[in-house]
Structure 1
């Protein structure tokens, strides 16, 4: 009788990923067809999704080197790069997926990745995640399903360093957004940032 898929090296790979056993992952992968990295196991998760939630991030890196493209979504239909944002140690996983070719402007349920960072990243991690996506070519002025840009969405939070970072990264700012801000001191500071950027552009002949 032929050994079933669920008793195969494929299933043993999934078990090794679950156990964060890097050595066994390497052993099973060496004899596994790349297409099986995209094949669901008993619980409906394929090895890439299992690796994404594993504690050992090196496992995901190994699988991404071998996995065929395009990368599949998770069993729930969520793109892996969106799922990565929900992991406690999200930045290295996000970075690996972007380097593996995931689209930095990908949208899920009407929200671009930059906007999803706002939903899933605490304030202490948010700027790092936004910076990584922008480095990979994400459009900072891409609007979400509600028609809002990232800057427009974050203005009410009043986080001056974050807002200044967005402006200096190329975020467009309509004059009435600042005029309508309740925090007039912050609005004045942001206007100064915009003035400095305009002067810099003029000096560079832009």
Structure 2
């Protein structure tokens, strides 16, 4: 087989792999993974919006959690990225973010984002996740060891951001999961009612802990 024919075959294999990933066709994906080299999975070889990204990134932007899971189990790295956006950060910007987040956490994807304005997955949830699913995302992160007492570059804690949402269920979950109420809350940051509710949640938790010894 000459060099031209070999190159054409490789391109064809990559194109079919891209189709399998984008469509979530696991049968085709499994077949194609046997035709490409493992290092190609962690290289920016797949076309997307005028540029090139890795196989895992392609699965994420196409909302294909099952394909992403199979790729990671087949050797894709959770740390490789073709841009400044880590896989988990990219995943949290997608419509199917919860499913993608779960897959990445199961594969020990880093949740801290060195060098980015948004320093962690927890803070990224507040930036990108819809209000209705914010607690679900944070709960999944806590399940895998997430830390709720972080402070961002502006000095804002996660619970302070939660207070601004005025969501009682979110505050109750975070406080029961160990998040501490900020000592100082700026005027007009949130309603007095939601601050009072958060303090009641903290008091209730303290009483339960005392009763349990």
Superposition TM-score, scaled by structure 1 size = 0.87
How far is 1:55 from its partner? 4.3
The answer for unaligned runs of 5 or more in structure 1 is none
Moved more, 38-47 or 125-134: 38-47
Of 185-194 and 132-141, the range deviating more from structure 2: 185-194
Q: 2:35 aligns with which of 27, 31, 41?
A: 31
- The Cα shift of 1:70 comes to 5.0
Shift of 1:188: 2.4
1:15 aligned onto 2:19: yes
Q: 2:7 aligns with which of 4, 9, 22?
A: 4
Question: Which digits, 9 at most, give the CA deviation of each residue in 1:23-68, with x for residues without a partner?
Answer: 2211111233322211222531111111112244221111010125
- 109-118 vs 39-48, which deviates more? 39-48
Change (3 A) 1:193 1:72: same
Q: 1:115 to 1:70 in 2, by over 3 A?
A: closer
| 2:145 counterpart residue number | 137
**Helix, strand or coil: the match of 2:53?**
coil
Map 1:1-206; keep pairs closer than 5 Å. 1-2=2-3, 3-4=6-7, 7-41=11-45, 43=47, 44-69=52-77, 71-73=79-81, 75-107=82-114, 109-111=116-118, 112-177=120-185, 183-205=191-213
- Counterparts of 2:114 and 2:132, CA distance in 1: 23
TM-score by length of structure 2 reads: 0.84
Q: 1:70, 1:55 → 2: CA distance?
A: 16
- DSSP-derived class of the 1:4 partner: helix
Residues 173-205 of structure 1, C-alpha deviations (whole Å, 9 max, x = no match):
134439986633332222221111111222233
Task: Check conservation: 1:151, 1:173, Cα contact below 8 A.
Answer: yes
Once residues 129 and 99 of structure 1 are traced to their aligned partners in structure 2, the CA distance between those partners, rounded to angstroms, is 14
Q: How many angstroms does 1:107 deviate by? A: 4.9
* Shift, 1:127, TM fit: 0.5
Per-residue CA distance 1:110-145 (angstroms, 9 max, x = gap): 322111101111111110001001111111011112
Q: Secondary structure at the match of 1:132?
A: helix
